[in-house]
Amino acid sequence: MNEIAANIWQTQEILLSHLLAWSRLSLVGGLSLLRAEAFWRGIGLQAIGWGLIDEAIAMIGHWSVYRRRAALPDPAAPAVLAQESRKLRRLLWLNAGLDVLYMLGGLTLVRTRGATDRGWRGHGWGIIIQGGFLVLFDLYHALLLAEEEQA
């Protein structure tokens, strides 16, 4: 059993704490852009929206990890740790794929409504920025889990 899989419960908590930190950074950054011109305000509004969603995901994730772990007779059993590691890795890969779709949606928004409206262009770039961070976040953690699982 590798180190990450052996500590998968702690790994999930750390990952969710990092997502929570990103959500709060997004919220603060977004709020600071609300009084800017339309382009930057669009980016700021997206940062606020994504920050709220990421915060909810992190909080629900913490609760879910706690509940799953508490419900198991032996949360440290090697089979349980391996299964949790696989489930988390699959979830991260799925999320990475969705993140790419979000970025493509943001790019579409930039090229359509954003072509003539700075506010919509800002919204599109806001989606691209958030999706870009999340795809890197999800890929990094999925690859780290996969690499550790093969070790």
Q: Tokens 């919220």 sit at which residue?
A: 27
Supply the pLDDT for residue 53.
98
Supply the pLDDT for residue 148.
66
The residue segments making up the domain with residue 84 are 3-150
Q: Residue range 127-144: average pLDDT?
A: 96
At 12, the amino acid letter reads Q
d(CA 50, CA 20): 11
Residue 78 CB: number of other CB atoms within 10 A? 11
- % of the chain with per-residue pLDDT over 70: 93
Supply the pLDDT for residue 7.
86
Average pLDDT of the chain to the nearest whole number: 94
Are 110 and 125 in contact, with CB atoms under 8 Å apart?
yes
Query: How many domains in the chain?
Result: 1
d(CA 146, CA 19): 20
Q: Whose CA is closest to 49, among 75, 69, 23, 70?
A: 23
Number of residues that make up the chain:
151
**Residue-wise pLDDT tens digits, 53-93:** 999 999 999 999 999 999 999 999 999 999 999 999 999 99
Lowest mean pLDDT among 1-5, 17-21, 139-143: 1-5
- pTM for the full predicted model: 0.91
Supply the pLDDT for residue 1.
45
